[in-house]
Amino acid sequence: MTEKTIASQLAGLITTTRQADLPTATREATVLHTLDTLGCALAAVALDAVPFVRASYAERQVTGPSSVIGADQGLPADMAAMVNGALSHALDFDDTHAGSVVHITTATAPAALAVAEQAGSPGAEVVTAIALGNEVSVRIGRAAGGQFHARGFHPTGVCGIFGAVAAVARLAGADAGQTRNAFGIAGSMAGGLLEFLADGSQSKPLHPGWAAHAAINAVWLARHGATGPATVFEGNRGFFASYLHGADYDLASITDGLGGEWLTEEIAFKPYPACHYVHAPLDALAEILAKEPISADEIESLTAFTDETGVKLVLEPLADKRAPRTAYDAKFSIPYVFGAQLVYGAVGVETFTEQAIGDPAVLAVASLVDYEPRHYANRPDAFGGGVRLRTKDGRVYENELRYQRGAPENPLTVADVEAKYAANAALALSGAEATELRQFVLGLDHADSMAPVTILRRAGNRRHDLAG
């Protein structure tokens, strides 16, 4: 029996939802998240992030119809999705859903755009596909919240593949049975370990790229007759039982309100290119410094506040977090970002380079940081946080943010998100190119051609051009 399995219900959502069924706010948010994701990928190209991914595919001397950001030649859809997904996540600047702790659009949009460009899909259908994919990623992830992290898995990789499957199946015209089988197949492809935290290695950006790549292959296989277990989610040897054996999870939350309750507006935008668990503490510090002109050499101590999951990701082992080993490692360090904020007054994409992380002044401040675990929500994965600052002359300042900036409860405005895109895109495209791409994406619901996606191929490093 497959009619009532979770995979079957999700397949029904993907195959029967009409464009008009999605609320206008959901479609508008989907478009804005797509723009934000592409901006993050463009900045990554400018900073030469994950060059090994692009080099790996260039070496294969394969071409195809789907655009690769920063490459003259296109690739087959699955390969293009791999490269673009890795780029979208490379700076850790991409959106996140707090309840699932999944970077959402970084897998769904690269997969959908690659397939849509190959198939010549109309823009409105691309928006629908990404929205449905994001919905699936959120629902799969929120069933377990921080439990994936607790088991050493990266939810973006292990959950994101299912959202990408949903987006690709919709664009590929897969029927309900093929879509259900694609979910089942994807269960054997889901992956992503958090062990990169042990040494600051660069496996994490590969996770959404692989999710997008594998999702396309899962759908293609299913369309040609491959089958996957209908009980991939709830089975005794299925996804949740295998990844989270013995842990608490809520399978009912995957399908509760399905097709009537849309969750895209819960996805948070990131104002900083670093792990979401550093954001609230960093903004709390920035708010103190905006009111009190405290210099780095006046600091006696800094105490960061975050929840249990945040402690494990961005504060332990504390000695390592005080002296990041790689630029990517620094993105998971509250001590480092506190130091950068105090020394330079800002944290941005240039904060996380191999040259920047060795700054003695920043590391001196980082060495003064300790932490206190705090509870910010009934769920273990809320992104609230704060800081206590103590000066050498005895002044004490404390500040907390219940919700990080960019969350639905403390949102960035549309203008904020567009400004973030503009700043990122300016690193890699000319002003005219960045504007043309922005107008295309914001008008995607009305686009009859995917041709403007090829603008992404022109991306390069324009930082020196901006400097004059």
Q: Convert the pLDDT of each residue in 309-366 to its tens digit.
A: 899 999 999 999 999 999 989 999 999 999 999 999 999 999 999 999 999 999 999 9
In a shared domain, residues 92 and 42: yes
- Round to whole Å and give the CA distance between 134 and 106: 10
pLDDT in tens, 11-32: 999 999 999 999 999 999 999 9
pLDDT at 382: 63
Distance CA 163, CA 142 (A): 13
Structurally, how many domains does the chain consist of? 2
Q: What is the mean pLDDT of residues 392-402?
A: 97
119-129 average pLDDT score: 97
Q: Are residues 255 and 317 in the same domain?
A: no
Q: Please check the confidence at residue 270 and state whether its pLDDT lies above 60.
A: yes
Work out the average pLDDT over 44-61. Answer: 94
The pLDDT value recorded for residue 1 is 42
Tens of pLDDT, residue by residue over 209-238, are 999 999 999 999 999 999 999 999 999 999
Tell me: do 152 and 227 sit in the same domain.
yes
The pLDDT of residue 246: 86
Residue 467 binned pLDDT confidence (cut-offs 50, 70, 90):
very low
Task: Report how far residue 68's alpha carbon sits from residue 454's, in angstroms, rounded to the nearest whole number.
Answer: 8
Q: What is the mean pLDDT of residues 239-245?
A: 96
Task: Report the candidate in 345, 11, 348, 19 with the shortest Cα–Cα distance to residue 175.
Answer: 11
Cis omega (within 30 of 0) for bond into 317: yes
8 A C-beta contact, residue 121 and residue 79: no
pLDDT band of 2, cuts 50, 70, 90: low
- How many CA within 13 A on the CB side of residue 29? 23
% of the chain beyond a pLDDT of 90: 91
Predicted model pTM: 0.93
Mean residue pLDDT of the chain comes to 95
Contacts with 256 (C-beta within 8 Å, 6 or more apart), sequence order: none
Tens digits of per-residue pLDDT, 439-461? 999 999 999 999 999 999 999 98
Residue 430 domain-assigned? Answer: no
Residues 350 and 245 in one domain: no
Q: How much is the pLDDT for 346? A: 95
Strands 267-268 and 299-306: unpaired
The reply to whether 241 falls in a domain is yes
Q: Are residues 228 and 357 in the same domain?
A: no
Nearest CA-CA partner of 278 in 314, 308, 323, 319? 314
Which of 203, 31, 221, 44 is closest to 134 using CA atoms?
31
pLDDT of residue 3: 66
pLDDT the model gives residue 464: 57
Cβ partners under 8 Å of residue 222, min gap 6: 169, 174, 178, 179, 181, 182, 185, 228
383 is a domain residue: yes
- φ/ψ of residue 376, rounded to 5: -115, -10
Rounded mean pLDDT of 162-181? 98
**CATH classification at residue 336:** 3.30.1330.120
Q: Within a domain: residue 248?
A: yes
What CATH number is given to the structural domain containing 163? 1.10.4100.10
Same-domain pairing of 51 and 128: yes
pLDDT bracket for residue 388 (50, 70, 90): very high
pLDDT recorded at residue 406 = 92
CB 339 within 8 A of CB 350: no
Q: Which one of 247, 268, 289 terminates a domain?
A: 268
- pLDDT score for 258: 97
- Residues 402-450: pLDDT tens digits? 988 998 889 999 999 999 999 999 999 999 999 999 999 999 999 999 9
Residues 240 and 280 both lie in one domain = no
What confidence category does residue 465 fall into, taking pLDDT thresholds of 50, 70 and 90?
low
Over residues 69-92, the mean pLDDT reads 97
Other Cβ atoms within 10 Å of 195 Cβ, number: 11
pLDDT band of 380, cuts 50, 70, 90: very low
Residue 376 clears pLDDT 90, i.e. is over it: no
Of 268, 298, 315, which closes a domain? 268
Tell me: do 30 and 127 sit in the same domain: yes
For the chain, the three-class secondary structure string (H helix, E strand, C coil) is CCCCCHHHHHHHHHHHCCHHHCCHHHHHHHHHHHHHHHHHHHHHHHCCCCHHHHHHHHCCCCCCCECCCCCCCCECHHHHHHHHHHHHHCCCCCCEECCCCECCHHHHHHHHHHHHHHHCCCHHHHHHHHHHHHHHHHHHHHCCCCHHHHCCECHHHHHHHHHHHHHHHHHHCCCHHHHHHHHHHHCCCCCCECHHHHCCCCCCCHHHHHHHHHHHHHHHHHHCCCCCCCCCCCCCCCHHHHHCCCCCCCCHHHHCCCCCCCCHHHEECCCCCCCHHHHHHHHHHHHHHHHCCCCHHHEEEEEEEECHHHHHHHCCCHHHHHCCCCHHHHCCCHHHHHHHHHHHCCCCHHHCCCCHHHCHHHHHHHCCEEEEECCCCCCCCCCCEEEEEEECCCCEEEEEECCCCCECCECCCHHHHHHHHHHHHHCCCCHHHHHHHHHHHHCHHHCCCCHHHHHHHHCCCCHHHHHC
Q: Measuring CA to CA, which residue among 139, 163, 156 is closest to residue 215? A: 163
Asked whether residue 85 is assigned to any structural domain, the reply reads yes
Q: Of 401, 425, 449, which one is at a domain's C-terminal end?
A: 401
Query: What residues make up the domain containing 366?
Result: 276-401
**Shared-domain flag, residues 226 and 305:** no
